[in-house]
Amino acid sequence: MKHQVLVVSADRSAETWGYPSGAPTGACEDMLPRHSGVQPQPSTAPYFLLMNTKIFQPGKPITVTITGPPYRGVLLEARTGKSTNALGSWQLPPPDTRFLECSGNPYGAVTHSNTNPKGSTTVYSWIPPNITSPVYFMATVAQQRAVYWVNVRSSMLIRGGPEGFFLIKNTSDGMAEEKPLLLLLMCFLILQILG
């Protein structure tokens, strides 16, 4: 009889704590942590995903930091367009995190490995694949089991062009944010006129 009570207690423990050793593979597409009986926060997330660049080059690492209050749980992926597939590969996960296989890629996502607090000193490193589409990062961030936010999204990263020349376009309206190639061309023309 004691054995049956212990088994029921162990099952209740999983319901109470959710997934303390990381998100399940089933969370890869919809980013929902599967915490029984708990819904995501409806408020705007107090977290932001910051990157060390707006431009990516295939094979060159991009660092990602989650800023905001300390957090205990995370699921972090790179995506493109409206796809729910994890993209690229993460490098060695920082302390208290681990890889999560998503989209058939054993290094496709990073999740927590325990409930130790993590913060803005936790830096993730992602390796872009050889694609031309804009990329963004998507995260689910949990302060605790019952308090979490889904769809925390970064700004877009655009693939850099040859020899560092690039043209970043806002994918929603087609307007250029930065035009270094145009600036270079203008400087050349001015030198031709003056020279």
What's the structural domain count of the chain? 2
| b/e burial code for range 127-153 (CB count within 10 A of at least 16 → b) | bbeeeeebbbbbbbbbbebebbbbebe
Q: Is residue 125 domain-shared with residue 193, that is, in the same domain?
A: no
| CATH number of the CATH domain containing 94 | 2.60.40.4060
Tokens (6 digits) for 179 = 């035009």
Instruction: Quote the pLDDT of residue 107.
Output: 97
The reply to whether 145 falls in a domain is: yes
Tokens (6 digits) for 110 = 């990073």
Q: Is residue 104 domain-shared with residue 91, that is, in the same domain?
A: yes
pLDDT mean for each 10 residues of the chain (195 residues)? 39 48 90 88 97 96 97 97 95 96 96 96 97 97 94 96 45 42 56 63
The reply to whether 12 falls in a domain is: no
Q: Is residue 123 domain-shared with residue 169, that is, in the same domain?
A: no
Q: Is residue 119 domain-shared with residue 146, that is, in the same domain?
A: yes
Residue 167 burial (CB count, 10 A): 14
Domain that holds residue 141: 17-158
- Contact criterion met (CB below 8 Å) for 22 and 98: yes
